Amino acid sequence: MSQPRASNSLAEAVKEHMLRDDAFSKLLGLEIDEIGAGYCRLHFTVRPDMLNGFRVLHGGVTFSAADSAFAFACNSHGRQSVGLTVTIDYLEAGELGDVITMEAQEESLKHKISVYQIRATNQHGNLLALFKGTAYRTSNEILSLPNQ
Amino acid sequence: MSQPRASNSLAEAVKEHMLRDDAFSKLLGLEIDEIGAGYCRLHFTVRPDMLNGFRVLHGGVTFSAADSAFAFACNSHGRQSVGLTVTIDYLEAGELGDVITMEAQEESLKHKISVYQIRATNQHGNLLALFKGTAYRTSNEILSLPNQ
Amino acid sequence: MSQPRASNSLAEAVKEHMLRDDAFSKLLGLEIDEIGAGYCRLHFTVRPDMLNGFRVLHGGVTFSAADSAFAFACNSHGRQSVGLTVTIDYLEAGELGDVITMEAQEESLKHKISVYQIRATNQHGNLLALFKGTAYRTSNEILSLPNQ
Amino acid sequence: MSQPRASNSLAEAVKEHMLRDDAFSKLLGLEIDEIGAGYCRLHFTVRPDMLNGFRVLHGGVTFSAADSAFAFACNSHGRQSVGLTVTIDYLEAGELGDVITMEAQEESLKHKISVYQIRATNQHGNLLALFKGTAYRTSNEILSLPNQ
């Protein structure tokens, strides 16, 4: 598995560009801790409005936070990338007040396709979920996209 | 694939029990249209705060709405069920103002495991995403769970 | 879901081209029943050498037969396509002597990506497995590939 | 991720029990290199009869070898376990004569469910595929199963 690399300026610039309009990541209160080529680590805190009907963390929130980490990691090389397919395994339920970290690592980077694994852990280091995402890499340069 | 069945009283009662505390489904504005044994259809409208950094619907929102449909369908038999693993394929991006319907159908119902497919379509009938979920069926009766 | 279409000449020609060298499909004794644009149905019989250590059908055989149906369906449009990622759900075990049918249907066909579902049923019509595959469509025309 | 542990006697005994009847693993020529609690590493060599219609390794063979590693790892604790759902990502094609190693590691072990990742690498250390499998743990003790 590729190792986290130091944050670099391209990945940082892409992240700034993406975050500016990423309303849903803001709604979830995602905080990005580190970004690099093919790498992203972020965290959030489980709020009452993130619970499901059984009063534990809604799987959709876990997925969404992992999906954002996936998006920052796969776009970090500067080419606009879109998620094709994702699998998530739920291992333990998140609970109110938990601080959950998502760490995205690049498994494979080819010309048109890249693959990432994202691990979700809580503040005790327990593994809550495994997320694996496959992205299609378009030929659009993100930093050249027009402002909207 | 199992056919949608008329809403029945058990599935309705479970849905009411689950919805009462399902804060995240409320945050997303999910509206349940039909519920039955092994079946759920719901919809929501794409709001500005559901967009991602490329100004299209965040994949996490699509996933979350499908995941709620999955939860209502797999719990509809009255036994508390938890998602084990899910796959989602993104076929077309959702856009601001779209009305997106999730239809969950039961593919398999065994003693401890059940499997569902959820199709996400927009107001034009275009297929936006395919979601497949596997649930573990506990022996807890939902309607006997203590109020929290 | 797209409906099976009558076998057409392009899909037939592609199938002939692919089958000529497909040693592993031959090893499994796969018999193709129908082929069309985005569609394939094939069957095989479970032999003693296809069983696993618990004396039921090895999951790898089920997968392989489904994977061949996926390959014939996604290549049927004439563009060489390669599997990117696949999910399989095992619902019931296959047994010695079972005749298992794989039916592949196209869920989505875009410029570079296509998605298929394959259903595995036995001679009693029981659903044994669900297979979902995503393919990357290269720009190679299969019928123009050099003979090897 | 759990680390490979030294082969232990329970895992070894289970492997012997399973291998005795595992006709399909024999057909593929799988050689087990190491077995332990929640762990398995095996390898095989790509033969001409494992190729597909494009003259590269059939995805079903890669899957089957990974699935066997998954089976040995998830049964290694002595409780009979069955695969529920599996995802495989194809990153690079295997070729005739390649020696392909499958290494299965346990990601999670709960009372009824366990989760494994299997990495497929060739003799050059290139990652060819990622496989993730979820197993249901029955209450049958493998070493107490009747001989067949």
Report which of D74, D70, D81 is spatially closest to residue D37, judged by C-alpha positions: D74
Q: Share the mean pLDDT of chain B.
A: 92
CA A6 to CA B26: how far, in whole Å?
39
| pLDDT recorded at residue B125 | 97
Look at residue A136 and tell me whether its pLDDT is greater than 70. Answer: yes
Residues in chain B with CB shorter than 8 Å from the CB of A80 are 54
Beta bridge partners of C144: none
Top CATH class of C9-144 equals alpha beta
Look at residue A47 and tell me whether its pLDDT is greater than 90. Answer: yes
The pLDDT tens digits of the residues spanning B53-93 come to 889 999 999 999 999 999 999 999 999 999 999 999 999 99
Handedness of CA C45, C51, D97, D122 (dihedral sign): positive
C-alpha R_g of chain A: 15
DSSP state of B57: B
How much of chain B exceeds pLDDT 90, in percent?
80
Residues in chain D with pLDDT values less than 50: 1-4, 6, 148
Q: How far is CA A39 from CA A115, C93, D62, in A?
A: 11, 40, 28
Cross-chain Cβ contact D53/C86 below 8 Å = no
Chain CA centroid to CA C52, Å: 21
Cross-chain Cβ contact A51/B23 below 8 Å = yes
The pLDDT tens digits of the residues spanning D136-148 come to 999 999 998 775 4
Strands in A79-90's sheet, in edge-to-edge order, are A31-36, A39-45, A99-109, A113-121, A127-141, A79-90, B79-90, B127-141, B113-121, B99-109, B39-45, B31-36
Closest chain A residue to the Cα of B65, Cα to Cα: A60
The pLDDT tens digits of the residues spanning A106-128 come to 999 999 999 999 999 999 999 99
Residues in chain C with CB shorter than 8 Å from the CB of D68 are 52, 58, 60
| pLDDT recorded at residue A2 | 47
Report which of D51, D40, D42, D128 is spatially closest to residue D90, judged by C-alpha positions: D128
Query: Quick one: C69 exposed, middle or buried, by C-beta within 10 A (0-12, 13-18, 19+)?
Result: buried
CA B27 to CA B123: how far, in whole Å?
21
Q: Which CATH architecture has domain D9-141?
A: Roll (3.10)
Which 3 state secondary structure label does DSSP give C124? coil
Q: Report domain extents, chain B.
A: 9-144
Q: Share the mean pLDDT of chain A.
A: 92
| Two tokens, residue C44 | 């095989």
Look at residue A25 and tell me whether its pLDDT is greater than 60. Answer: yes
Q: How far is CA B123 from CA A67, B43, B49, C98, in A?
A: 25, 10, 20, 43
Task: Work out the angle at residue A82's Cα, subtended by the Cα atoms of residues A78 and A87, and round it to the nearest 5 degrees.
Answer: 125
Q: Place A1 in a pLDDT band, splitting at 50, 70 and 90.
A: very low
Which ipTM score applies to this complex? Answer: 0.89
Query: DSSP letters of A48-77?
Result: GGGB-TTSSB-HHHHHHHHHHHHHHHHHTT
Cross-chain Cβ contact B134/D136 below 8 Å = no
| pLDDT recorded at residue A147 | 57
Q: Where are the alpha helices (DSSP H) in chain D?
A: 9-21, 23-27, 59-75
Q: Give yes or no for a contact between D24 and C52, defined as CB atoms under 8 angstroms apart.
A: yes
How much of chain B exceeds pLDDT 70, in percent?
94
Residue of D136, D138, D139, D140 to mutate, interface with B, max B Cβ within 10 Å: D136
Q: How far is CA D15 from CA C18, C52, C58, D107, D146, in A?
A: 37, 12, 15, 20, 16
The pLDDT tens digits of the residues spanning C4-57 come to 454 578 999 999 988 888 888 899 999 999 999 999 999 999 999 999 988 999
